[in-house]
């Protein structure tokens, strides 16, 4: 995984995590081995085709749950590559993000949520 610096809408310097080129290439190779188009693979994984394209080009880094689904669909016969992909995944982002605290039960009802 690599990081690319960029400037956000507020003019602040931020970084975006990118998938390492060898892992990005293994995603594309896995999709080709499965004989899937980008759209078919993206649908099977449950992500947008453009996002899968960005992952295959190394422009983005998946969350853990997306990495798990990518490994299941594209790398079923490549456990070492799947393990490397899961290790490179971003924790607590995308589908994996959960608020730090959630109101439950009576607290939520008393606040009208």
* Residue 62 backbone phi and psi in degrees, to 5: -75, 160
Look at residue 70 in the predicted model and tell me its pLDDT. 97
Asked if pLDDT for residue 60 goes beyond 80, the answer is: yes
Instruction: Express as a percent the part of the chain with pLDDT over 70.
Output: 68
Q: State the SS3 of 58-92.
A: CCCCCEHHHHHHHHHHHCCCCHHHHHHHHHHCECC
* Integer Cα distance of 74 and 4 in angstroms: 26
- Do the Cβ atoms of 14 and 3 come closer than 8 Å? no
Look at residue 62 in the predicted model and tell me its pLDDT. 93
Range of the domain at 85: 2-110
Look at residue 91 in the predicted model and tell me its pLDDT. 80
Look at residue 100 in the predicted model and tell me its pLDDT. 47
Q: How many helices (H) and strands (E) does the chain have?
A: 6, 2
Q: Give the model confidence (pLDDT) of 64-111 as tens digits.
A: 999 999 999 999 999 999 999 999 998 877 666 655 455 455 554 555
* Integer Cα distance of 8 and 36 in angstroms: 35
- Residue 93 maps to which CATH number? 1.10.260.40
In the numeric block, which tokens belong to residue 34? Answer: 């499965």
Look at residue 45 in the predicted model and tell me its pLDDT. 96
Asked if pLDDT for residue 54 goes beyond 90, the answer is: yes
In total, how many domains does the chain have? 1
Q: Which residues pair with 18 in a beta bridge?
A: 2
Mean pLDDT, the chain, as a whole number? 82
């Amino acid at each position: 995984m690599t990081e690319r610096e960029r400037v956000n809408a507020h003019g602040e310097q931020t970084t975006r995590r990118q998938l390492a080129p060898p892992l990005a290439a293994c995603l594309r190779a896995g999709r080709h081995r499965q004989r899937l188009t980008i759209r078919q693979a993206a649908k099977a994984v449950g992500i947008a085709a453009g996002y899968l394209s960005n992952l295959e080009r190394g422009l983005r880094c998946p969350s853990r749950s997306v990495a798990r689904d990518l490994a299941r669909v594209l790398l079923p016969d490549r456990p070492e590559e799947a393990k490397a992909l899961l290790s490179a995944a971003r924790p607590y982002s995308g589908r994996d993000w959960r608020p730090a605290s959630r109101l439950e039960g009576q607290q939520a009802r008393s606040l009208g949520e």
